[in-house]
Amino acid sequence: MTTLKLNITGMTCDHCAKTAEAALNALPDVTAHVDYDTATAVIDAPDNIKAKDLLKAVEGKGYGANMQTCDRNSVIADNNGAKLLVAIIGTGSGAFAAAIKAVENGAQVTIIEGGEVIGGTCVNIGCVPSKILIRGANIAHIQGHHAFDGLPLNTPTTDRRAMVRQQQEWVEKLRHAKYESILKTNPDINLLRGMACFKDANTLIIKKPDGSEKMLHADRILIAAGASPSIPDIEGLADTPFWTSTEALIAESIPEHLMVLGASVVALELAQAFRHLGARVTILARSTLLSKEDPEIGEGLRQTFEDEGIKIMLHTSPHNVSHDRGHFVLQTNTGEVQGDQLLVATGRSPNTATLDLDNAGVKTDNRGGIVIDDHMRTSVEHIYAAGDCTDQPQFVYVAAAAGTRAARNMTGEDVAIDLSVMPAVVFTDPQVGTVGLTEQQAQDRDLDVESRTLYLENVPRALANMDTRGFIKLVAEKDSGRIVGCQVLVAEGGEIIQTAVLAIRNRMTIAQLADQLFPYLTMVEGLKLCAQTFTMDVKQLSCCAG
């Protein structure tokens, strides 16, 4: 027999606790006690019981459940009572989220890192340094481009080297706090350095930095290898000192003229940041800006960028790149473009080419992304994957959520990830925030929808900020009024969009959103005002009419 503990959620009274307790005690040879005050179940059960059977018993009564550790510090698995051995390829957010949860559920974890530092993309070369750069650049821009009387405009002298030094200090602090310190304080997570590839479905070959190799056998394997910048096949490009986002974020000088190849998230964020720092910027877009979003988003950003002096070249593709004496020349279908630096930001490709996935039978899509289901399972039963190396959206919060759920499933639970209401933010100024369906996407699914767009001259906080660039758009079903999508182009769009997420997640209608209390003056009040435009002319309302 072994002693296990469950966390139980959703109980509202002692009767709930008795109901969950009876469900557990109905299992063969199980003795359980559920305590309402601590929301835990202490269970004596046979050694061969499956954790998923315990969880299903509780969940069948309408409550949530997840495993705590047990007295033998192990999980109920198919390994005769020994600790489940979990190998994780990668050390980014998805990998660490999985490692922490797997250990909580009793597993022994080995994480494998082939690079010089742990932490993956987000903390090292992605979210953290880019948002620090964007914030600093925005502060520099505001000093010379605000609309407030009595405050003199000022173009600051920028010390890019000092900016990079401070930025990287924060990168190191956060990497230590969120990654390195976890290894030091958790003896059940072991770091193994080297490049991993599959020998077979249960065995990894780790090629260590000293040239030696190590075989690692595991009961469960999680692939969380991340992604790298995708470099287009353009004649001459590989022979030039172009930047990817990695080099751009740590560049200690500001180009005189930065050419940006790409028109998606990373390209637009960095293009505007360098413009705010004083560079002349040209964007070369294969089609339009943010072409996968509502067309009004891309058009709104185009107008903003051009107002700031950024040159936008739509439907432009280079066919040749050359570099000589610090000077780039791009030959494109719309003419020649020249500048002193080139940033290539044309997406990211999964880091799967060196993993020898065929040896394990793991299937990939045409991009090389690992195909997974909503339980993070690959085509091989005991191999899971999470994060940017998969066919899921490339967002750090998706990777972390997927990693946690993968670990729970590897250790006996049965949980899925729901990406139907997933927010996304582009950290330009104004910011882009999206969730749910655009009007076109809804129509493509045969939904009968209508939409309203509220421009920011109708939002009191935007007027007070003297910045009315952008809009808020809601998409809803015509008959029911249920909200199915929201797109915003607003100075604080990243903060606003989560309110729309909650509204869609809870199946709110336009009428219900319009009837909510929103604080005044706030930008998020624009969601209420946009909802009100479905039935009235908000121009005829008083400033904070309910």
Active site residues: 11, 13, 16, 63, 122, 127, 543-544
Identity of the residue numbered 274: F
Sheet holding 189-193, edge to edge: 189-193, 108-113, 85-89, 220-223, 383-385
Task: Give which of 65, 90, 78, 98 is closest to 188, Cα–Cα.
Answer: 98
d(CA 467, CA 490): 9
- DSSP letter at 390 equals B
Q: Is 388 helix (H, G, I), strand (E, B) or coil?
A: coil
What the block records as the tokens of 54 is: 């315990």
DSSP 84: P
Q: At what angle do helices 493-505 and 525-532 cross, to 10 degrees?
A: 60
C-alpha atoms less than 13 angstroms from C-alpha of 331 in its C-beta half-sphere: 9
Which of the 8 DSSP states describes residue 73? S
Q: Can you tell me which residue has the tokens 């249960």?
A: 202
- Report the candidate in 401, 408, 361 with the shortest Cα–Cα distance to residue 84: 408
Instruction: Classify strands 311-313 and 280-284 as parallel, antiparallel or unpaired.
Output: parallel
221 closest CA partner among 241, 249, 200, 195: 200
User: Distance between CA 95 and CA 386 in Å, rounded?
Assistant: 8
CB of 355 closer than 8 Å to CB of 193: no
Q: How far apart are CA 223 and CA 449, in angstroms?
A: 40
Question: Which tokens sit at 382?
Answer: 């005991």
Contact 362, 340 (CB under 8 A): no
Cα separation, 130 vs 267, in Å, equals 11
Cβ neighbors of 209 (< 8 A, separation 6 or more) are 193, 194
CA distances for 210 relative to 90, 109, 186, 190, 204, angstroms: 19, 23, 26, 19, 17
CA separation, residue 349 to residues 142, 345, 423, 462 (Å): 35, 12, 22, 38
